[in-house]
A and B are shown apart, each in its own frame.
Chain A
């Protein structure tokens, strides 16, 4: 590897400065404020502020709503990850087999990624609306009464589908790239040895794209835990009866609607710790099974 040696110490820092400044102003400073806020009890206008130590945390661990939110987040993140990665892999494998139309399909499949999450949420809200939506109408024909406003299961299904749909394009692109990097000779050799398409997929394709799969696993879980806020906000707003109140939405709701900044700060700190822990686990244990 080629190394560049800087003569003086100042230049590298200067070159790094813009990026460091952005990281500091937009990431580290607000995060530090959240940590500080989580130890305070404050009224909405910030007129009275008391240091309460860990009280906000203990209160959270005592709260059935918060424990419910943890559970909802786990179910939601796992479902979104499995659904979006499963579907994109299926589509990627299908496109990989095409010769002439692959380009067109790839372009079409990438489109949903350009849709803003809030717009995607509104789209799904319209499709699934119990009163005016097309899907409840069709489901009604087959005897299913869809109502995500009062049915917890329906609501969860709605946000999972809407969030997974949004992420399919992204996963798909990576899977296609991963598939294309597998040398055709390997698959041909296996085919000559008599392995069928299913056997070839599981013994050759899947292990060879495992670095991609692992990367996407990390990205998708982080996506499900953080970036799905807009989908939840524009469809269920965490309801009914907290059934889709994932942690990041609860942070927003308690902090900005409820004006309880202390609890909201404590929740975001816990959320941050969970994501850090998950990422560490993934890199330390899951990555060992990945063949580069």
Chain B
């Protein structure tokens, strides 16, 4: 009995020692609910695969809350090694030279296996510097696609297997749907800023701002009041007045999905990552998937859509062992098996070509699941469709919503509203430039 006790005490001490020898790496993230559970499963896979490092994920709330917490922690010198930051925070993170360690540098310093050409250019392109070096590790990326109600299409006498390709068809199909009484509204959309402004610009190869949409430096300014964007916003207003389009509210457009689920609107444009949610809610009708519509009179359209979502940034000022662990963890995260598992589960895009290939079987079984992937890889990204990078962009997204609401209420026309976005947005960008120079 006594020897058993001693043995177990020794075992306990040994296990405690091995636990101490492990380097803990803090990872702050913003994935709640099922995504959070999946994330912890992935982390557990890494922790079980080796004994030197232990990644400790902590849920910190919404994207802005997580980013704010990490910045506050950095100021207090209590920062985590890894933090998940949403795409509009990229400008802020990037400008913080000295506060972040670019991923390409981390991988080089730690001698980790890292081949940037294995990544999908349209995913990592959003997060590279002007020389094409990867700054952060994409984790969850998505792109907007078109979801449509096949049952309503059939009722309206349209081919349920042909989603509209162009905006002219959007209008035509919507009118048919409304006239036939199959639904009372043609389409709605989430994210006026992300989908109907930023992605619209990239999809038509139109600039959002100067200096490669802000990639070229802090001097960049918004130019989103170009002819294509003005025409589109003008059309949205016209279609809203005609009842073809219904506005789903600011930011993500919380009221848009219910209008689609209740079959009030026949089509919705929303994130490819909301696929699982849309399927779960589309109980009473057949669901179809399509690419975003485009204006066929714009040269170069459709180009490629841009992504949204979040990436993992490495903050400086931690002990070196933690960075060795972080590099190992990133290797694990971008491995095809982990990527394919995460992307199939969540609806986010795979970040490497190998992972996309690994998902071929999944795509075969789930028609439409590859729409987003096809859309971002449609063409090689240009300087207009690589993404965008401006400081204070969280607030600029808010300005886009506000100006769009002014357009909807009729107090401004499309040109006036987009001029407002540019003028007010540039004031914030100038302030950001002054803070960071």
The finding on whether chains A and B are genuine partners in a shared complex, rather than unrelated, reads yes
* A contacts, CB < 8 Å to B: 41-48, 59, 130-132, 149-150, 239-242, 254, 256-260, 262-263
Decide if B171 is an interface residue (CB 8 Å cutoff). Answer: no
Task: Specify the chain A residue showing the minimal Cβ separation from B427.
Answer: A63
Most buried by B among A45, A47, A130, A132: A45
Number of A-B contacts (CB under 8 A): 69
A45 contacts which of B96, B247, B392, B394 (Cβ < 8 Å)? B96
Query: Interface of B with A (CB < 8 Å)?
Result: 64, 68, 71, 74-75, 92, 95-99, 247, 249-250, 254-255, 258, 392, 394-395, 401-402, 405-406, 408-409, 431, 434-437
CB distance from A128 to the nearest CB of B (A): 13
- The answer for the CA separation of A260 and B429 in the assembled complex, in Å, is 12
Inter-subunit contact A48/B408 (CB<8 Å)? no
Cα distance, A256 to B98, chains bound together (Å) = 21
Chain B interface mostly: helix
User: Does B405 contact A131, Cβ atoms closer than 8 Å?
Assistant: no
What are the residues of chain A within 8 A of B250 when measuring CB–CB? 149, 239-240
Can you name 25 A-B pairs with beta carbons within 8 Å? A41-B434, A41-B435, A43-B436, A44-B96, A44-B435, A45-B74, A45-B75, A48-B435, A130-B255, A131-B255, A131-B258, A132-B258, A149-B249, A149-B250, A150-B408, A150-B409, A239-B401, A240-B405, A241-B402, A241-B405, A242-B402, A259-B71, A260-B392, A260-B435, A262-B435
**Interchain CB contact (< 8 A) of A43 among B95, B247, B254, B394:** B95
Q: Contact at B247–A256, with CB atoms within 8 Å? A: no
Q: Which residues of A contact B99 (CB under 8 A)?
A: 45, 47
Cβ–Cβ < 8 Å partners of A150 in chain B? 247, 249, 405, 408-409
- B408→A42 contact, CB < 8 A: no
What are the residues of chain B within 8 A of A149 when measuring CB–CB? 249-250, 254-255
- SS class of chain A's interface: helix, strand, loop or mixed? loop
With A42-B435, A240-B250, A241-B405 in contact, do A257 and B395 touch (Cβ < 8 Å)?
yes
Among candidates A59, A239, A240, A257, residue contacting B68 with C-beta atoms closer than 8 Å: A257
- CA–CA, A45 and B434, complex, Å: 14
Is there contact, CB below 8 Å, between A259 and B402? no
Residues in B neighbouring A132, C-beta threshold 8 A? 258
CA distance A256 to B402 in the complex (A): 20
Complex-state Cα separation, A227 to B424, whole angstroms: 29
Task: Choose one: A241, A256, A260; the contact of B431 (CB below 8 Å).
Answer: A260
Q: Report the minimum CB–CB distance from A45 to chain B (whole Å).
A: 4
Question: In the docked arrangement, what's the CA distance between A48 and B97, Å?
Answer: 10
**Are B431 and A47 interface neighbours, CB within 8 A?**
no
For the complex of A and B, the 9 pairs showing the least CB-CB separation, nearest first, are A45-B99, A241-B402, A45-B96, A43-B435, A149-B249, A43-B436, A46-B75, A258-B395, A241-B405
Complex Cα distance A44/B64, Å?
Answer: 13
Residues from chain B with Cβ under 8 Å of A257 in the complex:
64, 68, 394-395
A47 and B96 form a contact (CB under 8 A): yes
**Complex interface: chain A residues within 8 A of B68 (CB):** 256-257, 259
